[in-house]
Amino acid sequence: MAHKHIQCTVNGQKLSLEVAVGESLLDMLRNRLHLTGTKKGCGVGECGACTVLLDGEAIDSCLFLAVWADGKDIRTIEGESKEGKLSKVQEAFVEEGAVQCGFCTPGFVMSVTALVEKGCQCEREGLKKELSGHMCRCTGYHNIVNAAEKAIGEP
């Protein structure tokens, strides 16, 4: 399989990498950079467990080729807590008990982080729509939406 050279920033760190042309951004993060916080769920863009930020926008990394990350800024869950201190969004998830098994949590946290940073003023129904690309198989949606509400309500 052919390879291409890319340069990108992952969690603030500039990287220069050789990636296979068939490699997904998700596989690049997990297998090459060992950033396993981003989860591999359905692999077809339905569950949202692989959500990362690409230039500040939440996308499914399972349906995104690593070669397309060239020149981009990527953020994963590993970059969200700074010096052992959780981000405001992560704190909100803890406080609202929005975590059960935790598999969906990194994706949800990244989507909510993008909403907070974009200054989202969504009401509850709007938030549900913004988070509709995520699945939580522990059925913890209520607390997750509470956490999102808390995070966007506390600038």
Partner 1 sequence: MFDIARYDEARSVEEAVALLAANPKARLIAGGTDVLIHIREGKQPEAELVGIRHIPELARIEREADGTLSIGAAATFSRIVADPLISRHVPVLADAVETVGGPQIRRVATIGGNVCNGATSADSASTLFALDAVLQIQGPGGVRLTPIRDFYAGPGRVHLGQAEVLTAIRLAPESYEGYGGHYIKYAMRKAMDIATLGCSVNCKVTGGDRLADVRLAFGVAAPTPVRCLQAEEAVKGKVFSPDVVEAFGHAAAAEINPRTSWRASREFRLHLAKELSKEALVKAYAKAGGIIHGA
Q: Which residues bind partner 1 (CB under 8 A)?
A: 1-2, 4, 20-24, 27, 43-46, 48, 51, 57-60, 63-65, 67-68, 111, 129-134
Instruction: Give the nearest distance from C-beta 15 to partner 1 in angstroms.
Output: 19
Q: Closer to partner 1 at the Cβ: 1 or 16?
A: 1
Instruction: Give the nearest distance from C-beta 2 to partner 1 in angstroms.
Output: 6
Query: Would you state the structure tokens that stand for residue 84, as one six-digit string?
Result: 């052992």
Q: Closer to partner 1 at the Cβ: 76 or 111?
A: 111
Q: Closer to partner 1 at the Cβ: 85 or 121?
A: 121
Residues 6+ apart with CB under 8 A from 75: 10, 11, 52, 53, 56, 110, 113
Q: Closer to partner 1 at the Cβ: 21 or 85?
A: 21
Instruction: Give the nearest distance from C-beta 46 to partner 1 in angstroms.
Output: 6
Between helix 105-117 and helix 141-153 the angle, nearest 10°, is 30
What is the sign of the dihedral through the CA atoms of 60, 26, 51 and 113?
A: negative
With CA atoms as reference, report the closest residue to 38 among 70, 64, 1, 3. 64
How many whole angstroms separate alpha carbon 116 and alpha carbon 122? 10
Instruction: Give the nearest distance from C-beta 4 to partner 1 in angstroms.
Output: 7
